[in-house]
Structure 1
Amino acid sequence: MDILPEEHRNEPHRRFNPLRGDWVLVSPHRGKRPWLGAVEKPAPNDRPQYDPKCYLCPGNTRAEGAQNPKYESTFVFQNDFSALLKETDDSIKSPSETPLFKSESVRGECRVICFSPRHDLTLPQMEIPEIRHVIDIWTQQADELLRKYRWVQIFENKGAVMGCSNPHPHGQIWASSSLPNEPAAEEKNQKTFFEEYGKTLLSVYLEKELELQERVVTENADWAVVVPFWAVWPYETLLLPKFNAARILDLNDGQRDSLALILKEFLGIYDKLFDTSFPYSMGWHGAPGTLNENFDTAHWTLHAHFYPPLLRSATVKKFMVGYEMLGEPQRDITPEQAAERLKALK
């Protein structure tokens, strides 16, 4: 079955995202438009192994005065500038007389995870056992926090262009008592699909992508990386398991090993694309609900989103403004073209 006939791919068209339940405008004819706008500085590649001024390096003092231990592997600490607090006023709620001014209490925790003690390494530059250790820490943190909170968001903002405030390789883990907008949409749409078809949305989707191969960037025995049919960001990817897993907690040792391998491989492909340390925002999505709840996870598939902003080079990024903010997201190159360029770098 031809998902989208070749003759239609070079014309403006819209693609539906079944996970979010919204649309993206694809405009492949705009790929050659001239660019006289903002140009970003490429990421420096000469960082030292240790920076005495970095508040994330081992042994250094952080902004709020706490001193880091002289850690030798992955290190986690409570964010000194947390967006969520463990204890809040539970009485915050909307006035009952109007539906137009809603509010509610929310509790949570925000943690920072330093992937490596070395200031100069990113995930794809780390050794496989080191990446595997990061995966283990992600899992341990999720296991601890899901006992108290409904949602645990593991994520990384890589690169100054994505708002990263410190170049030391690190991610974050935010846990909250409420379910945020993005996973709430995925919860609704995956559940609806499962109730209608008796299969998980993303397992059916991946099965078709593996059959077609045109948007598959790379794969191994357990995992696949695809540029989703509905991708918004120029080189957006979706990391999916080939096995049933609703949460990162469900991964066995072998699946964690193969996850470390594919992370190193495809993040290295990203770095080759424009010969730069490729910026992105990434994050894991898995079934919500605390481990103490009897929450149905049968409709969920664990997955990770990677949203890189670069469009044409290491210095030109995609801006989500104007029509994208007021209408709907728009992209120039097709997901198939993006996947082809990434696959060529394997």
Structure 2
Amino acid sequence: MSGTARGSGVPSTPHRRFDPLRGRWVLVSAGRDRRPWSGESQAVSPAAVARHDPECGLCPGNLRAAAGLDRIRNPDYAGPYVFANDFPALRPLLPDERLEVRAGPGIPPGRAGGAEELLRAEPEAGVCRVLCFGPRHDRHLAAMGDGELAAVVDLWIGQAAELGRVWRWVQIFENRGAAMGASSPHPHGQVWASASLPDEPAAEDVRQRDYLSRHGRRLLVDYAGIERAAGERVVADNGEWLAVVPYWAVWPFETMLVPVRPVASLPELDGPLRVSLVGMLRTLLTAYDALFGVPFPYSMGWHGAPGPAGATVAAPAGAGHWQLHAHFYPPLLRSPTVRKFLVGYEMLAGAQRDITPEQAAAMLRAHVPAAGPDRVR
């Protein structure tokens, strides 16, 4: 068929795909990644990293890079370690803190026009924490043993449960590699909890709620079933978790990790789902690192039912439309040094990608490790 890739129902001509999770369109321009490239080449983090770096502010026993004279020394921690971010983007508000909107210089009082509508601000409270995944400076998630990875999963769940009882949104995330702005090569993530629901999860909340009201089923549970049946965008499937390049993916090797049965939030994960998540994380991250033979940079984060009081073992009230999932956004496009930049059209018009999600999934799938014995703990 003209305009369709041979052996596939995927169009080979430029086309748009709808993102039902956020309600937006993505332009797919298949084959554009083959255009000549003389732009920036982005180096990635080196593979050889010391087990302990005496200059690292996250390694056990070292001084943190906090402002002021009273710098804090990390304990000699042996597992995951959590501390309040020394440079937080959010903090609890003091009782007397207020924000007032002013019309601006040169505008007489009472003649501000639409300033009250157009120049809006409000206080935003929250907390920020750093999540060190383990003591070793050289042990990223993909290289961890089962016990170490399980401890990280338990860490994510514990933070979601604790902070979700107080805050509206709990964003657990990891930036890996200098290409994604990681401030330290030490394996770590962060959690930012806020009083309001940010734009991305707010859009997902609306779309998932609407889908449930119309179909009586969760959007991402239905989507996981469709992808498992189709197979062409699946990277890995262990029967309980699905790693898939979304049909509407924006980043070249973007993936989504989703449980195949209904689960609203991280604290709802039972024992079997936690164990199978450990295996799926290793499978996906190993495939990433093997694709170009480098430690693959990415930003990843968990999206689950908002709080407060939403992070309990039982599903939070009114959150039956939510399905837990993790987004992985890696920037590399065609090699270890050439990355995708969201500029120009993407910033001014809309999202666009250069290879099809089906191509990206096939490339990742080719590097999924064969099943083998458990990792040494």
The two structures share one fold, judged by TM-score above 0.5:
yes
SS in 1 for 2:117: coil
Aligned to 1:160: 178
Alignment of 1:109-188 (within 5 A): 109-188=127-206
Q: Structure 2 matches for 1:184-195, cutoff 5 A?
A: 184-195=202-213
Match of 2:200, SS state, is helix
Contact kept, 8 Å, 2:241 with 2:277, in 1: the verdict is yes
2:37 alignment partner AA: W
CA distance in 2, matches of 1:177, 1:30: 42
Task: Map 1:32-51 to 2 at 5 A.
Answer: 32-51=34-53
Secondary structure of 1:143 counterpart:
helix
Q: What residue in structure 1 maps to residue 88 of structure 2?
A: 82
The reply to whether residue 91 of structure 1 matches residue 93 of structure 2 is no
Is the CA contact 2:243–2:257 (under 8 Å) kept in the aligned structure 1? Answer: yes
Change in Cα spacing, 1:20 to 1:48, as seen in structure 2 (3 Å) is same
Q: How far did 1:42 drift?
A: 2.8
1:318 equivalenced with 2:329 (yes/no): no
- TM-score w.r.t. the length of structure 2 is 0.88
Q: Is the 8 A contact 2:59 2:186 kept in 1?
A: yes
Q: Is the 8 A contact 2:175 2:300 kept in 1?
A: yes
Name the Cα RMSD after superposition: 1.7
For 1:182-261, what aligned pairs fall within 5 Å after superposition?
182-261=200-279
CA distance in 1 between partners of 2:169 and 2:329 (Å): 20
2:16 is aligned to 14
2-side partners of 1:141 and 1:29: how far apart? 42
Q: Does 1:282 align with 2:328?
A: no
Show structure 1 runs of 5+ residues with no match.
Answer: none
> Using the alignment, how far apart are the partners of 1:188 and 1:93 within structure 2?
30
TM-aligned CA deviation for residue 87 of structure 1 = 2.2
Residue 326 (structure 2) aligns with: 304
Query: Secondary structure of the equivalent of 2:34?
Result: coil
Q: For structure 2, which runs of at least 5 residues remain unmatched after alignment?
A: 103-113, 369-377
Secondary structure at 2:116's aligned position in 1? coil
The one-letter code sitting in structure 2 at the alignment partner of 1:341 is: M
Q: In 1, are the aligned partners of 2:44 and 2:178 still within 8 Å (CA)?
A: no
Corresponding residue of 2:60:
58
Inter-partner Cα distance in structure 2 for 1:301 and 1:283: 14
Aligned length: 343
| Distance (Å, rounded) in 2 between the aligned partners of 1:12 and 1:163 | 31
**2:372 aligned partner:** none
Partners of 2:241 and 2:346 lie apart in 1 by 31
Q: Deviation at 1:147?
A: 1.3
Match of 1:73 among 67, 71, 79: 79
| Identity value in percent | 52
Once residues 8 and 153 of structure 1 are traced to their aligned partners in structure 2, the CA distance between those partners, rounded to angstroms, is 34
Instruction: Provide the C-alpha distance between the structure 2 equivalents of 1:225 and 1:238, rounded to a whole number of angstroms.
Output: 6
Q: Give the Cα separation in 2 of the matches to 1:314 and 1:129.
A: 30
2:75 and 2:208 map into 1 onto residues whose CA distance is: 42
- Distance in 2 separating the partners of 1:303 and 1:7: 27
Hey, what's the Cα distance between the residues in 2 that align with 1:229 and 1:302?
18
2: CA distance, partners of 1:182 / 1:124: 27
TM-score, scaled relative to structure 1: 0.96
Q: Which has the larger radius of gyration?
A: 2
Structure 1 residue 94, shift from structure 2 partner: 5.4
Q: CA 1:287–1:68 in structure 2 vs 1: closer, same or farther (change >3 Å)?
A: same
